[in-house]
Amino acid sequence: MAAKPRLRFAVIGVNHYHIFGQTQCLLDAGAELAAVDLAGGEPHIVAGFRDKFPQARQVRDKAEILEDAAIQLVVGAAIPYRRAALGIEVMRHGKDYMTDKGGFTTLEQLDAVRRAQKETGRIYSICFSERFENRATVKAAELVRAGAIGRVLQTVGLGPHALHNQPRPDWFFRREPTGGILADIASHQVDQFLYFAGATDAEVVASQVANHNNPQYPEFEDFGDIVLAGGGATGYIRVDWFTPGGLGVWGDGRLFVLGTEGYIELRKYIDVAGRPGANHLILVDGKGIRHIDCNDVPLPYGGQLIADVLERTETAMGQEHCFLASRLCLEAEAKARRLGHLAGDAGA
């Protein structure tokens, strides 16, 4: 007899490729994909989802999912400005919610979700895939927690992305649907700064955004950076859409973690120095230099989130951490100095 699934979940919102990783991490941890609402999804992503996950029952309306008492968790990668409202709806139906990053596009959305989460006691989790779905980052966290580099003093997180590696819908180039580059892709690096620094509060010291090379999309931000301080550490973040076509992957994502007794460098998706594959970790300490291949490191997020849903714990990610990372991204976006061809900028 087949084992009973640990948890039944459904998908609402198929507008970003991250939905594949979000779904797979739960399946790998023993959950069952019970249903999917494909309405309003991007056609190429919808087609790919049907092919990859044919077991999911397709519903005609999301109400079929929200009103199904046997479904405990809803997962989605909707257009960013719709994620918060969907999360509130899910929580008010007595279910937990896991969304793609960024989880919000405005501070008002964050405040509304905070209230709903407190009232319902449900989980609002953001799948920060550059930490939760990257094996080198999981290994780095293990080493830092074990004291391998002493006390963390700084992180440098680099999140370059490729602009034309996949179809981009019209909403992708507009500010309101996405929230801007810092609210969106920089959320990964903000999450990692807080996590590695062990910070329970932090502030945005400085931030800026730019449209350097895409004047045909006046609202689009193709570059952004942030300086953060918190937990006795500082963080620098740079995100952009300038990955060259010759790299071979969507982005040369890096993370540097500086400690009092050493440092760690992660070459997450490619090693431009020539080592094959992804998930490269370089540890430098008082004993020397060591390269660690992290491709066999387990990914705990899916299993931890399932346990949190079933046991009402916070092992995958603390709820306050989720909200703090989101607030910092939104504040950085709101206060950013604006450069380049950005709409409404008279100084560039």
pLDDT tens for residues 313-346? 999 999 999 999 999 999 999 999 999 887 655 3
Residues of the chain with pLDDT under 70: 1-4, 343-348
pLDDT at position 348: 36
pLDDT at position 347: 39
Inter-CA distances, 50 with 14, 44, 65, 168, 306, Å:
11, 10, 17, 20, 23
Q: How far apart are CA 62 and CA 12, in angstroms?
A: 7
> Residue 2 corresponds to which amino acid?
A
Q: How far apart are CA 184 and CA 202, in angstroms?
A: 18
pLDDT at position 341: 82
Residue recorded with tokens 């002493």: 150
Residue recorded with tokens 């990692």: 192
pLDDT at position 346: 39
Q: What are the tens digits of pLDDT across the range 33-78?
A: 999 999 999 999 999 999 999 999 999 999 999 999 999 999 999 9
Q: How far apart are CA 235 and CA 154, in angstroms?
A: 5
